[in-house]
Amino acid sequence: MSVPTTPGSAVTDLLGLVALGELLAFERMAGDARLAPDLRRRAALGEMAAAEIANYRRLADRLGALGVAPEEAMAPYVTALQAYHDSTEPRDWAEAVTKAYVGDAITDDFIREIAVALDGPDRELVLDVLHESRYAEFAAAEIRVAVEADPRVADRLSMWARRLVGEALSQAGRVAAADRGALTALIAQGGRVDASALFRQLTAAHTARMAAAGLNN
Amino acid sequence: MSVPTTPGSAVTDLLGLVALGELLAFERMAGDARLAPDLRRRAALGEMAAAEIANYRRLADRLGALGVAPEEAMAPYVTALQAYHDSTEPRDWAEAVTKAYVGDAITDDFIREIAVALDGPDRELVLDVLHESRYAEFAAAEIRVAVEADPRVADRLSMWARRLVGEALSQAGRVAAADRGALTALIAQGGRVDASALFRQLTAAHTARMAAAGLNN
């Protein structure tokens, strides 16, 4: 089950991918905060964003300790992750919190699935950067408020969530293509036959979560 | 020397002003990170931004403990602080780090000047939200790198820094005008005759700092 941690290895590739995900999630959420209807909510999304970059720092430090420059480990994934965010710019507050809710949850599911293949300190680190549930609760509560204020919003947000997942899976395909083989091997070591099996699992979890937030799939 | 902390008092006005300053600094710095020439610097400005919102949270919590909704305490200053940022959008990375450097330093000077008029826990809190020097060092180092790469940049950044201070002072005038009297009284209690004396002091400190970073005034 042990995975080597030399530069360019599966572990540094994975830490690089998760680190970049956190960095870009930070930037986009911080930017989306401008869509908030009031200062309280604006600050809340900002704090949700700040939690992402705190996680980024921990992952970047671990990469440094493994002798890999974080920007080098992140480089192969910049195009795909940037494309995901460029193609999913929220148009209003409800879309912004839905994106934060969906994005964080899928990231967490992905990390949990992958963590089993990692060794001691790396496993602990990635399990530790899972998002705090209070942020998910804040986002889910905002979604419910938006739906209660106007039930037609549920359809729009459901469609939006489907688009988010669709874009994420499409970019995940590009990540897999950019991968030097190590990451796919790591996913396989997690007990999955291939990346597609992992994606099917993530999608199923997402569907359950949408239902819980009052959205349909 | 003791200042009452009832809602609408000098202390809650001041905490509201500083809290909003932190919240907007967070948003703008996080947005300016997109101007960074590489992922390492992009993350560094993002982390500098995240430190601001951590401070915002502490100030907002203190306002809550004093029985004042943070958004209510911040409301009188939104127009002025937003106008400052709208009129000082950096066009490139060197301008972004100069803005972060100048803005953080002036904020810290302002907080230090005001702190003397505050009582125990509030004084400790505002002195505690002073920016970590490692962020100022990062920004100053980036300014020096930009100037070394092209000495003409020194003139452009010097002019930019003068504009930042000019806009800040102009918006400070609007803050003073929006003030319900309590804030000005607090400044006077800090040993200053009036707000203008405080602004002159802040400008003098800024001039010294510019010289230290290799920029002229």
Residue A60, chain B, CB below 8 Å: the answer is: yes
Per-residue pLDDT, A202: 83
Confidence band (pLDDT; 50, 70, 90) for A190? low
In tens digits, chain B (217 residues) has pLDDT values of 444 445 558 889 889 999 999 999 999 999 999 999 999 999 999 999 999 999 999 999 999 999 999 999 999 999 999 999 999 999 999 999 999 999 888 888 888 888 888 888 889 998 988 887 888 889 999 999 999 999 899 999 999 999 998 898 888 878 877 766 777 777 777 666 566 777 788 888 888 888 877 787 6
CA–CA distance, B51 with B135 (Å, rounded to integer): 9
Residue B74, chain A, CB below 8 Å: the answer is: yes
- Asked if B34 lies within 8 A of A46 by C-beta distance, the reply is no
Using a pLDDT cut of 70, give the percent of chain B over it.
Answer: 92
A188 burial (CB, 10 Å; 0-12 / 13-18 / 19+) is middle
Rounded alpha-carbon distances, angstroms, from residue B65 to A37, A90, B12, B93, B166: 24, 34, 11, 39, 35
B70 vs A contacts (CB less than 8 Å): 39-40, 43
ipTM score here? 0.81
| CA nearest to B53 within chain A | A47
| CA nearest to B82 within chain A | A34
Selecting from 1.20.1260.10, 3.30.1490.270, 3.65.10.10, 1.10.10.10, what CATH number does the domain A10-212 have?
Answer: 1.20.1260.10
Every domain of chain B and the residues it spans:
10-212
CA–CA distance, A82 with B82 (Å, rounded to integer): 28
CB A55 within 8 A of CB B24: no
